[in-house]
């Protein structure tokens, strides 16, 4: 176990990538009728029913918190599919990061966990809070640390993808003119940097989606229909 109480750390939110979709369209997915707790096999890596249920619960709680009184059962109909899609995409990204030689050191992992605000109710990492969280989620320290390491690995890969994207001035000007046909002289220069941020965010999102689609198209994902129905 990597974590022990030993120092003050700053507050940070632990981000969870939530991919909102109403369809489940993968390239290279093959339904099958195998037995066991496996709900999917991603290029040889297993996704279990426990994994799926945990992500589903996280999505359910997130939607419920966002929509509050407007949250209803109709909103939950695609959540399990969304949870499975998130798990498969995450596994593909982790596998690709490994092939690219990306790594997360033990020191990087330890520092990141110590900064998770959920474990620092008084502004300082608390071992009992950490252990209570793991117990509540039915996770061992080893499982949690593996998941956190993989989360950080995905973020490192996604940063490389995003950093490869740029919006040249000529492209930016053309996009601004297309979206603001009635703009006056000088409007572009006045709004240039804010518009660049919007376009850059859009292009980064598109680059990530294209990268993941490429992984899906060449990967092999086997679904266990029986386990999915029972989970």
| 22 assigned to some structural domain | no
pTM comes to 0.77
| 203 assigned to some structural domain | no
Question: What pLDDT score was predicted for residue 5?
Answer: 33
Cα separation, 16 vs 62, in Å, equals 10
Question: What pLDDT score was predicted for residue 72?
Answer: 86
Q: Which residues of the chain are modeled with pLDDT < 70?
A: 1-36, 230-231
CATH number of domain containing 95: 1.10.4030.10
Question: What pLDDT score was predicted for residue 2?
Answer: 53
Question: What pLDDT score was predicted for residue 127?
Answer: 95
Domain with 132 in it: 29-164+220-230
Question: What pLDDT score was predicted for residue 27?
Answer: 34
What would the pLDDT profile of 10-37 be if each residue is shown by its tens digit?
333 333 333 333 333 333 444 443 345 8
Q: How many domains does the chain have?
A: 1
| 135 assigned to some structural domain | yes
Question: What pLDDT score was predicted for residue 78?
Answer: 87
Cα separation, 172 vs 176, in Å, equals 6
Question: What pLDDT score was predicted for residue 1?
Answer: 55
| 129 assigned to some structural domain | yes
> At a CB cut-off of 8 Å and minimum separation 6, what does 195 contact?
172, 175, 176, 188
| 75 assigned to some structural domain | yes
Show contacts of 14-23: CB within 8 Å, 24+ apart. 14/116, 14/117, 14/118, 15/155, 16/58, 16/62, 17/86, 17/90, 17/154, 18/59, 18/62, 18/86, 19/82, 19/85, 19/86, 19/89, 20/82, 21/78, 21/81, 21/82, 21/85, 22/78
Question: What pLDDT score was predicted for residue 204?
Answer: 96
Question: What pLDDT score was predicted for residue 169?
Answer: 94
> At a CB cut-off of 8 Å and minimum separation 6, what does 67 contact?
75
> At a CB cut-off of 8 Å and minimum separation 6, what does 5 contact?
124, 125, 126, 127
| 36 assigned to some structural domain | yes
| 213 assigned to some structural domain | no
| 225 assigned to some structural domain | yes
């Amino acid at each position: 176990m990597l974590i022990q109480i030993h120092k003050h750390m700053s507050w940070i939110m632990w981000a969870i990538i939530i991919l909102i979709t109403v369809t489940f369209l993968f390239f290279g997915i093959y339904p099958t009728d195998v037995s066991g707790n496996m709900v999917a096999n991603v290029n040889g890596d297993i996704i279990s029913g426990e994994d799926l249920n945990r992500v589903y619960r996280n999505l359910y709680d997130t939607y419920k918190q966002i929509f509050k009184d407007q949250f209803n059962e109709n909103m939950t109909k695609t959540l399990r599919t969304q949870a499975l899609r998130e798990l498969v995409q995450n596994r593909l990204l982790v596998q690709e990061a490994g092939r690219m030689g990306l790594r997360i050191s033990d020191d990087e992992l330890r520092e990141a966990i110590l900064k998770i605000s959920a474990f620092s109710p008084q502004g300082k990492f608390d071992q009992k809070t950490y252990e209570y969280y793991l117990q509540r989620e039915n996770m061992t320290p080893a499982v949690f640390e593996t998941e956190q390491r993989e989360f950080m690995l995905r973020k490192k890969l996604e940063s490389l993808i995003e950093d490869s994207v740029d919006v040249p001035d000529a492209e930016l000007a053309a996009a601004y003119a297309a979206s603001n046909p009635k703009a006056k002289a000088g409007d572009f220069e006045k709004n240039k940097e804010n518009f660049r941020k919007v376009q850059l965010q859009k292009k980064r999102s598109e680059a990530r989606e294209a990268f993941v689609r490429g992984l899906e198209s060449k990967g092999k994902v086997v679904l266990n229909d029986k386990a999915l129905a029972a989970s």
